[in-house]
Amino acid sequence: MTVGVAFCLAMLWWSTASSELARKRSTLEELSRLPPADAVGTGDATLHLGPGIPTWARVTVDDGREVLGVDVSSPDDFCLKVADAQALVELRDACATDPFAWGGRTWIALWQPVGTEDDAIVVSADGEVKPSEGAVDGAGEASGGGRLYVFLDISDYVEQIVGLGAACLAAAAAVLAASLAIGWFAAGMALLPVAQAEARQREFVCAASHDLKTPLMAVTANCDVLEAEAGGDPALMPWIGNIRAAADDMAGRIADMLTGLDR
């Protein structure tokens, strides 16, 4: 049962993480469809995603990866300098589509060729770039190596997934603790008859050893008297020796029973 619960919690965490990341990449795709900025600073094109949406940035570079324009979600909330934009571009090229850390935040990003028409850019739902064959530059010629980089802050997603993972681990630990407690109680109830049987055996052995010691002491004492009265009579000594040997054997058996109780 515990393994099943842990598996269900793991599947819940994985499905939530996958669906939320897909939603973030969908937002990233929507941002990529905006026209690129034409100057360094905050561009005129702004995507109104509503309050609470994570910070995003779009950086346009030329063939030599020199920054030509920068868009940000809110200049009051997030300021991106040219050097910072260059650093983000380099991180995106190094990490590809994997999330990366910069400025104390976690980001995902994509890039695509720069074109003049909205339909000159094709981005798949999962964030993979599919450049259109018809992309052209402002002069009507095929666009060169200019790129539009789009960055989306997913720090809230990371915090959410980490928190969910911690909650799933706590739930799994609680289930494991409850299972151990139930198992311990069930084992105790199952072993209760065995403990009761051992207690009855101990009581019987203690009572039997006490009842046997009294007559055994009498036999041993009478044997001592007979040895003294016989005075070494060869006709009586073998019989007295047999009685003493039997008494000693009985004493040894009683001692063994008492020793077994202490094991």
Strand partners, 244: none
CATH of residue 242:
1.10.287
- Report the pLDDT averaged over residues 75-104: 84
Tokens of 132: 């259109």
pLDDT at 223: 83
Span 183-210, pLDDT tens digits? 888 888 888 888 888 888 888 888 877 7
175 part of a folded domain: no
The string of DSSP codes covering 49-73 is: --TTPPPEEEEEE-TT--EEEEEES
49 part of a folded domain: yes
Tokens of 35: 């026209």
Among 153, 182, 214, where does a domain finish? 153
Q: What is the pTM of this model?
A: 0.56
pLDDT at 1: 64
Span 10-60, pLDDT tens digits? 888 899 989 998 998 888 888 888 765 443 344 433 433 344 444 788 888
177 part of a folded domain: no
Contact 153, 28 (CB under 8 A): no
pLDDT at 5: 79
pLDDT at 35: 64
183 part of a folded domain: no
Confidence band for 101, pLDDT divided at 50, 70 and 90? very high
pLDDT at 123: 39
Strands (E), the chain: 56-61, 67-72, 100-102, 105-113, 147-153
pLDDT at 100: 92
**6 shares its domain with 126:** yes
42 part of a folded domain: yes
**86 shares its domain with 140:** yes
Q: The domain containing residue 206 runs over which residues?
A: 191-261
d(CA 127, CA 123): 6
Amino acid (1-letter code) at residue 174: A
Tokens of 157: 């997603």
Contact 145, 47 (CB under 8 A): no
Q: Is the pLDDT of residue 87 over 60?
A: yes
Instruction: Count structural domains, the chain.
Output: 2
**32 shares its domain with 149:** yes
Q: pLDDT higher for 52 or 70?
A: 70
Strand partners, 71: 58
Q: pLDDT higher for 229 or 164?
A: 164
65 part of a folded domain: yes
Span 110-166, pLDDT tens digits? 988 876 334 434 434 444 444 444 333 333 333 456 888 999 989 889 999 999 999
149 part of a folded domain: yes
